[in-house]
Structure 1
């Protein structure tokens, strides 16, 4: 059984679709009831959709208990929910700071800690970080910092003796410029899209299903000796 936060669009939705194609039972979580139901219909309807604010630990506890009661032990947790906004560094209010960190960092931490006791032996957790965690992102300092924190969380949680004793692997996918509804809205200007594309060594935007395939690999037995690791799906953006 697979739980995906941020599962109603973009990378989360593409990942849900891929896991379903491989026979998995799926639960998706998101903030918008309307978007969740649209995603559920797009996935064929045989999906548990739970409205969840990942910035609230109580919501994540309720999510994990709900999916466990309905579908059984959690085999894969894909902690994917996140937000990215670009206010001026020196005009960033405390409320916005808290929103980014609560969603992007707290949401991953509590998704894992609330799910852990309900995970099957040998389960897998995959977190969504970003290429910007290692190269910086001028103009979006909080997003870059939050995704670096996610990468660090994976390393530390993977090394915890209780996690190791349960043989739970914890890994990270770090996407680069991926075409999703959110990035489409943020780069509606064709010049901006072209500029982003020009930064990528492979010369194109990535697709959500390319990230989904990396998540599927990390959650599979093919990655059985990989934990605390990272796969960058970025066209070389952060590597070259």
Structure 2
């Protein structure tokens, strides 16, 4: 408790899934919280659940201008930031022959371009010391079929951990990442599958996890709390894998 007491924090994609659970954990730990989202329904439900003290911002995670808008809203509300969880992302899985340019560009806009320009826009707000946590994925390293574009975008995001760490540590800004494996969130809506396809895919994925189950959003969120807190003050440029052993096979 109180590991983030008084810290001003931002979570992108914070109205559902891992992001929403992280917002819950940040609040439990005493943080002031802002979240972003795109879906009006999840935005409304997050506002109701998280309470009026949480700043909820509607913004397209892949739009560069929206990242400046987020920075402006957070700056006006908090005056600065102590921790950021760059969590918003899209996971589209399909064979290489089914991809088109528009879908490819959208995945990279949300997973790579948006996060890059968000960090750029937030630099004037970030305190010394402060923490940036990126949400990458084990898909960047395991070679899962049908994940070519998703894995490539998360691999690009992973490079920011090291390059931005080297560039920003002199300002007191630490950059780290969580790299989740399969987490118990609605796969069929996340991957554009039917519910029946999602169940079959989930069963196939589960069989590849040594721990024998999907992870829970709270297990990722608690790792983000650690990386956002002063407990990880000597942790710089690290990527914490949370996958039940899947990437070790």
* TM-score after normalising by structure 1: 0.95
Partner of 1:115: 122
Q: Do structure 1's residue 140 and structure 2's residue 128 form an aligned pair?
A: no
- Name stretches of at least 5 consecutive residues in structure 2 with no aligned partner: 1-7
Q: Supply the distance in 2 between the matched residues of 1:66 and 1:142 (Cα, whole angstroms).
A: 32
Of 31, 44, 48 in structure 2, the residue corresponding to residue 24 of structure 1 is 31
CA displacement at 1:44 relative to structure 2? 2.6
Q: Supply the distance in 2 between the matched residues of 1:191 and 1:165 (Cα, whole angstroms).
A: 48
Contact 2:112 2:154 in 1 (8 A): yes
Of 230, 234, 240 in structure 2, the residue corresponding to residue 231 of structure 1 is 240
Q: Supply the distance in 2 between the matched residues of 1:113 and 1:154 (Cα, whole angstroms).
A: 14
Q: Supply the distance in 1 between the matched residues of 2:50 and 2:31 (Cα, whole angstroms).
A: 12
CA displacement at 1:211 relative to structure 2? 0.2
- Give the CA RMSD over aligned residues: 1.5
More deviation in 74-83 or 35-44? 35-44
Contact 1:2 1:27 in 2 (8 A): yes
Of 145, 161, 173 in structure 2, the residue corresponding to residue 168 of structure 1 is 173
CA displacement at 1:134 relative to structure 2? 1.2
* TM-score after normalising by structure 2: 0.91
CA displacement at 1:181 relative to structure 2? 3.1
Contact 1:178 1:205 in 2 (8 A): yes
Partner of 2:72: 65
CA displacement at 1:182 relative to structure 2? 4.3
Give the SS at the match of 1:211.
Answer: helix
Q: Supply the distance in 1 between the matched residues of 2:242 and 2:69 (Cα, whole angstroms).
A: 32
Partner of 2:90: 83
Contact 2:127 2:172 in 1 (8 A): no
CA displacement at 1:228 relative to structure 2? 0.8
Give the SS at the match of 2:177.
Answer: strand
Of 211, 217, 223 in structure 1, the residue corresponding to residue 220 of structure 2 is 211
Q: Supply the distance in 1 between the matched residues of 2:122 and 2:143 (Cα, whole angstroms).
A: 30
- Name stretches of at least 5 consecutive residues in structure 1 with no aligned partner: none
Give the SS at the match of 1:78.
Answer: strand
More deviation in 198-207 or 27-36? 27-36
Q: Supply the distance in 2 between the matched residues of 1:138 and 1:88 (Cα, whole angstroms).
A: 8
CA displacement at 1:220 relative to structure 2? 1.1
Q: Deviations over 1:180-238 (max 9, x none)?
A: 13467657334332221111010000000000011001111111111110101100111
Give the ranges of 4+ consecutive aligned residues of structure 1 lying more than 4 Å apart after TM superposition: 182-187
Give the SS at the match of 1:82.
Answer: coil
More deviation in 148-157 or 38-47? 38-47
